[in-house]
Amino acid sequence: MEYPNSLPRPAEELEKLEKVWEPPRGFRMFSAVNNNYVGVYYVGASFLFFILAGVLALIVRTQLAVPENELVGHELYNQLFTMHGTVMMFLFAVPAVEAMGVLLLPNMLGARDLPFPRLSAYAFWAYFAGGLAFFCSIFFGLAPNGGWFMYPPLTSMEFSPGLNADFWLLGIGFIEISAIAGAIEIIVGIMKTRAPGMSLDKLPVYAWAMLVFAGMIVFGFPAVILATALLELERAFDWPFFLADRGGDPVLWQHLFWFFGHPEVYIIFLPAAGMVSMIVPAMARTPLVAYRLVVLALLATGFLSFGLWVHHMYTTGIPPLSLSFFSAASMAVAIPSGIQVFAWIATFAAGRIQFKVPTLFVLGFLFIFTLGGLTGVMVALVPFDWQAHDTYFVVAHLHYVLIGGMVFPLFAAFYYWIPIVSERPLSERLGKWVFWLLFIGVNVTFFTMHITGLAGMPRRVYTYPENVSWGALNMVSTLGSYMIAAGVLVFVIDMFRNFRPFTGKNAGNVWNAGTLEWLPSGNYQTRSIPHVTSREPLWDQPKLAHDVVAGRYYLPGAPTGGRETIITSPIDARPQYLLKLPGSSWGPFLGALFTAAFFMSLVVKLYMVGLALGALAIAMIIWWMWDTDPETRDHPIKVGDEVELPINVVGPASHSWWGTVVLILVGATLFTCLVFSYLYLWLVNGEIWLPETHQLPELVWFVVPTALFLASSAAVVFAGRQASQLPRVNPWFLRAAVFLAIPLMMAGLATAIYADWHVGLRPSESSYGAVVYMFSVVQGVYVAALTLMGLFVLARSLTGRLSASRRASLDNTALLWHYMTAQGVIGLTLTHFFPRLMGLS
């Protein structure tokens, strides 16, 4: 094929590239934003939480080793298992797979970095600082104790009056922020920063898996964000969402929680499956069998898993036919999982296996995960579930699935990919020890628990009497768990001996794998960005590594004098424009610390301090936003001898447009969950939901706020039109329109709230009041954010940073603005007309 660039390259080109991407040293490591650094920090932090949560599990297991043990009392025990489950799920599992994505994706896609590096850095630090603070609550006896799914009414104010439950809500506030930030980053990264030629049919399976994973976060996490917000409001201000005596319903929590919680299991599993689909072909030295079916399986799992949430609620009195739908879906989702398992086995069979440590972990994964899947089919059957519900059988099942489905693939991934970030690979000899200790330990611990559960031992009990004969089984489980700990310890030793990141060197393609992350690389990733013609380019284009290093492909230097990467089209990966990437910056680090401190002060009810910290966090974000959307050059930039790309484009091709659209999807899902909550409360508590004496506001109170929201959007549209005619028109028209839109929007919100208030509706009186005001709460978040964004646009215009071709700040604000209006109008329509339609008032 034709090469984009001719050789030899100018001598100073590589030097300049290295200089531009030079990593920060010393203290300034905290200000690093590029994925090579943040990815490693992120993986490391999640592993730290794995160890911390593991220590809690060991205490739990020690407590249960013998009957009538007095090691920890029941109060501490409750905190221990709650923290273990919560930290494992929220601070280890989700961040770990997301972290691997941040670390691996740019390498694998042939990008210099993900499109929003500062967002990744911010998400990481917020998660790390907040997570540590959350973990420390256990040392003060303030840790949550309601189990990792925190069912109300146990966690309502009446039964959990202390701060413990609030710490849980805080703890997962961080993972919510960082997971969603990461999902936006990953979606836009996979869609827009692929190497030229890497069309969707050549996308590495891992990238498909991460795309589905990120999509699932976008549609799954909003449910739990809403749920935690509702519970927080109920606890702080007595809004009765879950209190049955005022028309609330604790089962609403279960619906919202499991609508997120079941997909969560696949959110954890799919990236792991994606990793396995990369490791298996490399270890078998042959392409993955049935690539297309595996892609189908990933897509289907992503969807079907949302139809399973009720299988966690079989015992809540839901009608039998409804349960059957979920039971049927639980079976259907086994099909795509089965497809993947067969594809891996077939690939192993088709190739020549290298029996290295990653292979062992993959085989261990297949064994354990399959067993977990089998018990999963068992508990998906309603009558069996009624027997096994809340016994140790379920604890056994969930650990088989989670450890088999996620921890083993993760260890495989560590052993497999560490050579790309470390000067030395990990040790084969120690790795075998790690594997066997973990494999035997896990089976000893958890296989036994199936029997303990069938023998009737309930989960979440801190001790049990002598005479029930559970003692021997529990002792075996405890010994097994110490074996697991020993395995993890050997792994840590291996890491200390061999893991050498950030040295500027790496061990290279030790497995002779075929995908782009194995190209020789520096902090800038690859010297030049290759043109890809197949799924395993390193196998099919034998000279690729050599040519990439020589600088024959795209973007061999740093033509703008800063960091940059190529943005390509989402399906066929044609180069579209050159994206300027930010260098190291303190903004994300400081912003994250302030965010963490902000949440902490809310939990301990220091509202004024919190306000100040929140303002500081926002200031940091504005600081870094300020230099996004750079000046567009009139002349395009050369990335190849004949290939020129513009910098910064306007509209749907731009990466920031994509980011905003994904954010809107998150918002729309949250709003849909709120509509669901409204209708659900009406459905189950119709009689006391809306007190009979209550008068709805007159219809004029529907018209006025609707008109105000629409007017504010119209002003924003006008501003956009003006902007495209700059500099021919007077910029003050645009400024006036944006300035006017803000009070219009605020007045819309204020009149909506006033309408309910003046007819005497109070949020704490009934679940109806609470849920109606909740629409305004959600709307208020957008009004606050858009006020800031509007002022930001004004500031940019006043300082000459807004023009017809440099207008991302305005365009993205406008997108969100129209979404806010749409959401407001839909909410008003529902709350004004639904009760009338049902003849309720």
Catalog residues that contact another protein under the rule CB under 8 A: 191, 199-201, 292-293, 295-296, 299-300, 303-304, 306-307, 319-322, 324-325, 327-329, 331-332, 335-336, 569-572, 574, 576, 649, 651-653, 683-684, 686
Judged by CB under 6 A, the chain residues 669 through 688 that form the site for ligand HEM are none
Report the residue from 5, 82, 277, 601 that binds ligand HEM according to the rule CB under 6 A.
Answer: 82
Instruction: Please check whether residue 364 is in contact with residue 276, taking contact to mean a CB–CB distance below 8 angstroms.
Output: no
Tokens coding 471: 């003692």
Closest CB to another protein among residues 298, 485: 298
Burial of 695 per CB tally in 10 Å (0-12, 13-18, 19+): exposed
The residue with tokens 């549609």 is 219
Distance (Å, whole) CA 66 – CA 73:
14
Q: Does 57 bind ligand HEM (CB under 6 A)?
A: yes
Report the residue from 262, 397, 563, 655 that binds Cu ion according to the rule CB under 5 A.
Answer: 262
Instruction: Please check whether residue 448 is in contact with residue 480, taking contact to mean a CB–CB distance below 8 angstroms.
Output: yes
Tokens coding 101: 């994505």
Closest CB to another protein among residues 279, 297: 297
Judged by CB under 6 A, the chain residues 434 through 463 that form the site for ligand HEM are 445, 459-460
Closest CB to another protein among residues 191, 786: 191
Q: Does 255 bind Cu ion (CB under 5 A)?
A: no
Secondary structure of residue 522 in the 3-state scheme? strand
Q: x/- site string to ligand HEM, residues 366 to 405, per CB under 6 A?
A: -----------------------------x---x--xx--
The residue with tokens 């592993």 is 47
Q: x/- site string to ligand HEM, residues 130 to 149, per CB under 6 A?
A: -----------------xx-
403 touches which of Cu ion, another protein, ligand HEM, none (CB within 5 to 8 A by kind)? ligand HEM
Judged by CB under 6 A, the chain residues 90 through 119 that form the site for ligand HEM are 93
Report the residue from 109, 484, 555, 579 that binds ligand HEM according to the rule CB under 6 A.
Answer: 484
Distance (Å, whole) CA 46 – CA 31:
19
**Quick one: which segment of 256-264, 432-440, 587-595, 618-626 binds Cu ion (CB under 5 A)?**
256-264
- Closest to 755 in 3D by CA, of 818, 831, 678: 831
306 touches which of ligand HEM, Cu ion, another protein, none (CB within 5 to 8 A by kind)? another protein
Q: What is the closest distance, in whole angstroms, from the C-beta atom of residue 265 to another protein in the complex? A: 18
CA dist 95 → 174, 362, 414, 481 (Å) = 10, 21, 15, 24
Phi, psi values for residue 633, rounded to 5°: -80, 150
DSSP β-ladder status, 563-568 and 575-581:
antiparallel
- Closest to 47 in 3D by CA, of 589, 588, 494: 494
- Nearest residue to ligand HEM by CB is 85
Distance (Å, whole) CA 74 – CA 556:
63
Report the residue from 156, 481, 601, 656 that binds ligand HEM according to the rule CB under 6 A.
Answer: 481
Judged by CB under 5 A, the chain residues 676 through 715 that form the site for Cu ion are none
320 touches which of ligand HEM, another protein, Cu ion, none (CB within 5 to 8 A by kind)? another protein
Report the residue from 14, 17, 45, 89 that binds ligand HEM according to the rule CB under 6 A.
Answer: 89
Closest CB to ligand HEM among residues 380, 402: 402
Closest CB to another protein among residues 262, 356: 262
Instruction: Please check whether residue 118 is in contact with residue 587, taking contact to mean a CB–CB distance below 8 angstroms.
Output: yes
Distance (Å, whole) CA 183 – CA 206:
15
Quote the DSSP letter at residue 640. Answer: S
- Nearest residue to Cu ion by CB is 262
- Closest to 145 in 3D by CA, of 52, 137, 94: 137
- Closest to 326 in 3D by CA, of 313, 315, 316: 313
262 touches which of another protein, Cu ion, ligand HEM, none (CB within 5 to 8 A by kind)? Cu ion
649 touches which of another protein, ligand HEM, Cu ion, none (CB within 5 to 8 A by kind)? another protein
Instruction: Please check whether residue 487 is in contact with residue 437, taking contact to mean a CB–CB distance below 8 angstroms.
Output: yes
Burial of 749 per CB tally in 10 Å (0-12, 13-18, 19+): buried
85 touches which of ligand HEM, Cu ion, another protein, none (CB within 5 to 8 A by kind)? ligand HEM
In sequence order, which residues have a C-beta less than 8 Å from that of residue 755 and are 6 or more positions away?
697, 701, 702, 704, 705
Closest CB to ligand HEM among residues 88, 362: 88
For the chain, the 3-state helix, strand and coil shares in percent, each to the nearest 5, are 70, 5, 25
**Quick one: which segment of 86-94, 237-245, 766-774, 779-787 binds ligand HEM (CB under 6 A)?**
86-94
Q: What is the closest distance, in whole angstroms, from the C-beta atom of residue 685 to another protein in the complex? A: 10
**Quick one: which segment of 77-85, 151-159, 201-209, 689-697 binds ligand HEM (CB under 6 A)?**
77-85
Report the residue from 60, 133, 267, 753 that binds ligand HEM according to the rule CB under 6 A.
Answer: 60
Rg (CA), the chain: 27
Q: Does 450 bind Cu ion (CB under 5 A)?
A: no
| DSSP-assigned beta bridge partners for residue 647 | 578
Q: What is the closest distance, in whole angstroms, from the C-beta atom of residue 675 to Cu ion in the complex? A: 24
Q: What is the closest distance, in whole angstroms, from the C-beta atom of residue 138 to another protein in the complex? A: 39
SS3 per-residue string spanning 535-583: CCHHHHCCCHHHHHHHCCCECCCCCCCCEEEEEECCCCCCEEEEEEECC
Q: Does 224 bind ligand HEM (CB under 6 A)?
A: no
Closest CB to ligand HEM among residues 53, 111: 53
Phi, psi values for residue 698, rounded to 5°: -55, 160
Q: Does 397 bind Cu ion (CB under 5 A)?
A: no
Q: Does 54 bind ligand HEM (CB under 6 A)?
A: yes
CA dist 543 → 505, 512, 550, 625 (Å) = 21, 14, 11, 41
Closest CB to Cu ion among residues 262, 356: 262
Tell me the CB-side half-sphere exposure of residue 256, using CA atoms within 13 A. Answer: 33
662 touches which of another protein, Cu ion, ligand HEM, none (CB within 5 to 8 A by kind)? none
Tokens coding 470: 């559970």
Binding site residues, ligand HEM, CB under 6 A: 54, 57, 60-61, 81-82, 84-85, 88-89, 93, 147-148, 395, 399, 402-403, 406-407, 445, 459-460, 481, 484
Binding site residues, Cu ion, CB under 5 A: 262
